[in-house]
């Protein structure tokens, strides 16, 4: 069960379901995507050190 939960969490299924519960304005969507991209970029940069 633990492994399944981890795989679902890494896949982003819970996050997508949470986002689809309510309407997200286009401007909020852009802001969220930009923040997620920055976060991914920072994580990738830290791995490269």
Domain region containing 42: 25-49
12: in domain: no
The pLDDT profile of the chain, 49 residues, written as one tens digit per residue, is 888 888 888 888 888 888 889 999 999 999 999 999 999 999 999 988 6
33: in domain: yes
30: in domain: yes
CA atoms within 13 A on the CB side of 17: 6
16: in domain: no
Confidence (pLDDT) at 10:
80
Confidence (pLDDT) at 18:
86
pTM of the shown model: 0.62
Total domain count, the chain: 1
């Amino acid at each position: 069960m633990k492994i399944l939960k981890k795989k679902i969490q890494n896949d982003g299924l819970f996050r997508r379901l949470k986002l689809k519960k309510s309407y997200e304005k286009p401007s909020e969507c852009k802001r969220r995507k930009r923040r997620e991209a920055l976060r991914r970029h920072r994580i990738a940069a830290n791995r490269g050190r």
